[in-house]
Each structure stands twice: as C-alpha cells, then as structure tokens.
C-alpha cells in the first residue's frame, strides 16, 4: 500500500545544492523531483542523526540523502526498514577506523603523486573526520588573527544573542556535516572567512556594509553552503598538497606548514565557479526556508559590482566571481515571492549592527 506523497529535500552527496522532491513509500522509497526519479530499496536504508521531527535517510554506503519532517512517513520507514537505525561498527572511532584511515591516507599520498592535488581534493575532502576538521579549524584561528592584524573579538551580549538566534533559525533544517562556530571580529574590511570544522569568521565591516539584515544573512548562508560542501577542506588540500597528507599519516595536524596553508587558503577563498554557484543555491534555499528575502544576496553582489571600483566594499569576498550573470542566476532561482521579507525586524537589526560597540578603538584595517 502506497503512502500519501510527502514533500522532502534531496541531497546528492556531491554538492550542497538541495533539491525539492516528493517522497512516496511503496515497495521502495520513491523520490521524484525535477529531472530526478529514484527508487531506494527499503532494506538498504539507514537513518542519520537528527532531532525529530526532522528525519534524514539514504542508502547505506552512499552519501545521497533525503530529509523530511512527516511523522507518518518516519513511522512507516521504521516499521518496514530492518536496518534503519543500525550502527556503523567502524563509526566508534576504534582500531578499525584508525587502520582504515591510515591506509586511506597512505593511498592518498600515492594518488597525489600520480594524479595531482586537484584530482583527489574533491574526493578526499568529504572523507576527513569531523574531529580532524575541528582541530584544524581551531588551530588556524590564531593564524587568521595574525594575518589580519589581531583584530579584537566583538561580543556585545544583546547583539550576540540576536546573532545566535538568527544562525539557529537559518540552520534549523540545514544539512551540515559539522556544528557551526561563528565569531565576529572588529575589522575595516567587509568579509566572511570559512575555515575547516564549520568555523566562520565574520569581519565586522560586512555587517556595516549590509544595507539590510537579509543581505548579511544571505552572505552568511552562502558561507554555510561552503561548509556543507566541504569547500574549506578542498581549499586546504589544494593549498598544502602533500604536506597535509603527510601530516595526517604522522598525526601532526597543527604544524606550521599546515596552519599557514589553511590560513592562506581561507583568506584567498579561491573556490571554483561550480563551488560558488552551489553555495549561492544553498543560500537561496536557506533564506527561503528562514523567512528571509532570498534575492538579498543578489542585491548586495550587484551593489558590490557597481561600487567596488570606488573602494566602498574593500575586499568583500574579493576573489569570488561577482558578476551580473551570477546575480541574475540568484534572482532566477529565488523568484519574486520572497522580495520584501525581513529576516530580522528593525530593532534586532539595529542591535546586531552594534555587536562591536564595546570594543574600544577603531576597526583594524590591513
């Protein structure tokens, strides 16, 4: 007996782009969307770690997943999928994982010599354990600070509370491989830097240069798209080459060579056009789900393209491809139904814009 059609979101495991789909449970889990039709065998399905009502399922051994919030479909899958909540015996972090990870690292070094860094970076980045990404992100934070002239942290309590609520709202139903850690630093350059381990460093002039809260939130959602797609790890692999892989084998993940490479990769943020387009798509979807203006990212990009030659947006995501084509693509994806929405009211936006009000002195500028 078929279940009633349920709305869900499909992630192919290769990019951060979400795909709206319709889920139907028959003899298999049918997934239908634009240019997409899949049928997953029920005995192959496993569930990811989520907080109800959100449910995330996909075939064992595949990175592809669907997310939904319908309790009826969740109950039906739990009744009909024998291995839905099975535990991966290699996921406990024991000896098997260590052996497999060491072998994979050794093979990766050989692949590096044969095929080069770019070819393996795309495949290896999603396989890096979250614990290693977190260590790298924490270690590089200090390096980023030194590169930027040690800008002070901004932590006005009321503003921070609003920022935290905004981030929670935006990521409530997001598919992110790691927990986010958002820090704001006082700096006279408008930018946001994404590090491994879900760390995002916001330079305060980004908030100042955002005309609306939705423009700021749209940029942040774009950065979350890079987190979802493991782009910081790909940039690290491309920047450090064999140094990272050798450090992985030797267990030294905080050496100066690696940290400097990560810092430089974060500052340059030289992502491919495909990665930027995927992050833009992710931003549009997050803003739409969060009740914000999904076109706001296009608005700030258009203003940057117009005014950056006069220095109004000094270095704001400078290496990203700010083009009219990109802004037009965002608007086409977003449509017109979210125009005029405000993700924060005026009072909260005013408070958030004062997040550095307790930091003495002028903003650092490098």
- Spatial strand order of the sheet with 190-195 comes to 181-185, 199-204, 190-195
Closest CA to 143 of 211, 193, 85: 193
- Asked if residue 32 has pLDDT above 60, the reply is yes
Around Cβ 245, how many Cβ atoms within 10 Å? Answer: 23
User: 3-state class of 107 per DSSP?
Assistant: helix
| 19-25 and 6-11 strand pairing | antiparallel
Percent residues over pLDDT 90 in the chain: 40
Choose between 184 and 87: higher pLDDT.
Answer: 184
Q: How far apart are CA 216 and CA 297, in angstroms?
A: 8
pTM check: above 0.85: no
Q: How far apart are CA 69 and CA 343, in angstroms?
A: 23
- Asked if residue 315 has pLDDT above 50, the reply is no
- Asked if residue 51 has pLDDT above 80, the reply is no
Choose between 266 and 318: higher pLDDT.
Answer: 266
Mean pLDDT rounded to a whole number for the chain:
78
**Overall average pLDDT of the 28-57 stretch:** 88
Q: What pLDDT, on the 0 to 100 scale, is given for residue 64?
A: 86
- Asked if residue 245 has pLDDT above 60, the reply is no
pLDDT tens by residue, 261-298: 555 555 555 677 888 889 999 999 999 999 999 999 99
CA distances from 357 to 150, 186, 190, 247, 353 (A): 18, 10, 17, 41, 9
pLDDT tens by residue, 166-203: 999 999 877 788 889 999 999 988 888 888 888 899 99
Q: How far apart are CA 32 and CA 18, in angstroms?
A: 13
Q: What pLDDT, on the 0 to 100 scale, is given for residue 35?
A: 86
pLDDT band, very low/low/confident/very high, at 310 (cuts 50, 70, 90): very low
Q: How far apart are CA 217 and CA 213, in angstroms?
A: 6
**Overall average pLDDT of the 214-242 stretch:** 83
Choose between 120 and 86: higher pLDDT.
Answer: 86
Q: Could you give phi then psi for residue 257, rounded to 5 degrees?
A: -60, -45
310-329: burial string, b at 16+ Cβ within 10 Å, e else:
eeebebbbbebebeeebbeb
**Overall average pLDDT of the 132-158 stretch:** 80
Minimum mean pLDDT range among 3-12, 123-132, 237-246, 282-291? 237-246
Minimum mean pLDDT range among 123-137, 171-185, 343-357? 123-137
The residue ranges of every structural domain in the chain are: 6-80, 128-353
- Asked if residue 223 has pLDDT above 70, the reply is yes
Fold topology of 6-80: PH-domain like (2.30.29)
- Asked if residue 78 has pLDDT above 60, the reply is yes
Choose between 334 and 128: higher pLDDT.
Answer: 334
pLDDT band, very low/low/confident/very high, at 119 (cuts 50, 70, 90): low
Percent residues over pLDDT 70 in the chain: 70
**Overall average pLDDT of the 207-216 stretch:** 95
**Overall average pLDDT of the 207-222 stretch:** 95
């Amino acid at each position: 007996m078929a279940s009633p059609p349920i709305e869900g979101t499909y992630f192919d495991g290769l990019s951060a782009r979400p795909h709206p789909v319709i889920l139907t449970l028959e003899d298999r889990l049918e997934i239908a969307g634009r240019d997409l039709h899949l049928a997953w065998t029920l005995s192959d399905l496993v569930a990811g770690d989520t907080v109800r009502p959100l449910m995330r399922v996909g075939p064992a051994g595949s990175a592809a997943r669907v997310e939904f919030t319908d309790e009826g479909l969740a109950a039906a899958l739990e009744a009909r999928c024998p291995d839905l909540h099975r535990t991966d015996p290699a996921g406990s972090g024991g000896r098997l994982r260590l052996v497999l990870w060491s072998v994979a690292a050794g093979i990766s070094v050989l692949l590096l010599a044969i095929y080069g860094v770019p070819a393996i970076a795309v495949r290896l980045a999603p396989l890096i354990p979250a614990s290693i990404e977190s260590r790298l992100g924490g270690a590089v934070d200090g390096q980023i600070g030194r590169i930027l002239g040690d800008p002070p942290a901004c932590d006005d309590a009321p503003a921070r509370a609003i920022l935290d609520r905004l981030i929670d709202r935006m990521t409530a139903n997001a598919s992110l491989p790691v927990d986010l850690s958002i820090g704001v630093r006082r700096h006279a350059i408008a930018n946001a830097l994404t590090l491994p381990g879900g760390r995002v460093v916001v330079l305060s002039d980004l908030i100042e240069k955002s005309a609306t809260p939705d423009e700021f939130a749209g940029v942040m959602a774009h950065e979350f798209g890079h987190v979802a797609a493991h782009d910081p790890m790909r940039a690290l692999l491309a920047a450090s080459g064999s140094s990272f892989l050798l450090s992985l084998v030797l267990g030294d993940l905080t050496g100066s060579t690696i940290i400097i490479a990560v810092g430089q990769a974060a500052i340059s943020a030289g992502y491919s056009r495909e990665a930027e387009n995927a992050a833009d798509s992710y931003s549009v979807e997050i803003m739409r789900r969060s009740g914000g203006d999904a076109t706001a990212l296009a608005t700030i990009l258009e203003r940057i393209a117009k005014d950056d030659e006069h220095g109004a947006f000094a270095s704001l995501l400078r290496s990203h491809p700010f083009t009219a084509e990109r802004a037009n693509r965002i608007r086409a994806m977003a449509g017109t139904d979210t125009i005029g929405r405000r993700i924060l009211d005026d009072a909260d936006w005013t408070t958030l814009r004062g997040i550095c009000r307790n930091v003495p002195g002028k903003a650092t500028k490098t």
